[in-house]
Amino acid sequence: MEHEIIPMTAQPHHDMQNSGPAVPQQTTERHPGLFQLVSPLPLTFSVKQNNTIALHRAVIDRQPVVLRVLKESASARERQSFLGFAHFLSELGPHPSLPKLLGVVTVQTPLMIALEELEHRDLLSFLWRCRQDHTGQEAPCDMTEKRIFTMGTQIGSALEYLHSKNYIHGNVKARSVLVGRDLSVKLWGLGPAYRRKTSTASTEYVEDMEMRKWQAPEALARQPLQQSSDIWSFGFLLYEMVTLGEPPFPNIIASELLIYAVL
């Protein structure tokens, strides 16, 4: 897809079933330009790619963006879920500490969601780079108490905003935070919040054992999540920042976490 020009003029698919909300038209009308210089993102990019979504970098109105592109092999259900997530982001509205939704493409394949690009990618990789020896070179960051406080305040502001709209993030950790050029941070990883919104289930069990180390005791016990569950995970996110990316409970097997959590 390198250097492919993709028009950003979007209308809802006419052949799709009305089983979910359409993406609000005003989302794309605000950005009628063209995507330019489209190229795949490196495999090190923080957002997990899966069998149906690919990630690309592009430029629109001289602004770098990240494209979440739905592959043409996706099923009708996956297309509906993709558009539903776009609607969720639009409905969520803008916030200074959430990545900006810059538009969607729904009139033709491939379907796309365009988000602002944050130069330093995810916070965890950023923290790991801060550990490296930068003798003779400018270090990428200086994680002082003041910077940790500022970043924590920005993430906390995003969480407070989500909670004010009755959403539970459910995925708070350094890898779910994106870092901008000015070292401001924005909370991402909103997939679990969207799935929880659209699912009749009140819990979402985390199968990835390592991810469970950030989960609150009620999540480990497969009980309904609460907004306080995000606060529990937020505490471990602060720990990650202080330790430059150390995982919580490094000496405890993930399957035994609940035993320690209730002691």
- In this predicted structure, what is the pLDDT of residue 137? 63
Q: Are the beta carbons of 6 and 111 closer than 8 angstroms? A: no
Question: Is pLDDT at 29 greater than 70 in this prediction?
Answer: no
Average pLDDT of the segment spanning 241-255:
85
Sequence-separated (6 or more) residues with CB below 8 Å from residue 62: none
Q: How far apart are CA 68 and CA 101, in angstroms?
A: 11
Q: pTM of the prediction?
A: 0.79
- In this predicted structure, what is the pLDDT of residue 84? 92
- In the numeric block, which tokens belong to residue 65? 């963006």
3-state secondary structure of 84: helix
Sequence-separated (6 or more) residues with CB below 8 Å from residue 126: 120, 140, 141, 179
Comparing C-alpha atoms, which of 119, 218, 98 is closest to residue 164?
98
Q: Give residue 52's Cα distance to chain centre.
A: 16
Average pLDDT of the segment spanning 228-245:
96
pLDDT digit string (tens) for 34-82? 555 555 665 444 445 567 888 888 888 788 889 898 988 899 999 999 9
Choose between 157 and 252: higher pLDDT: 157
Across all residues in the chain, what is the average pLDDT?
79
Q: Which domains are delineated in the chain?
A: 6-116 (3.30.200.20), 123-261 (1.10.510.10)
- The alpha-helical segments, DSSP class H, found in the chain are 26-29, 76-92, 123-131, 145-164, 191-198, 217-220, 227-242, 257-261
Q: Are the beta carbons of 21 and 85 closer than 8 angstroms? A: no
Question: Is pLDDT at 13 greater than 90 in this prediction?
Answer: no
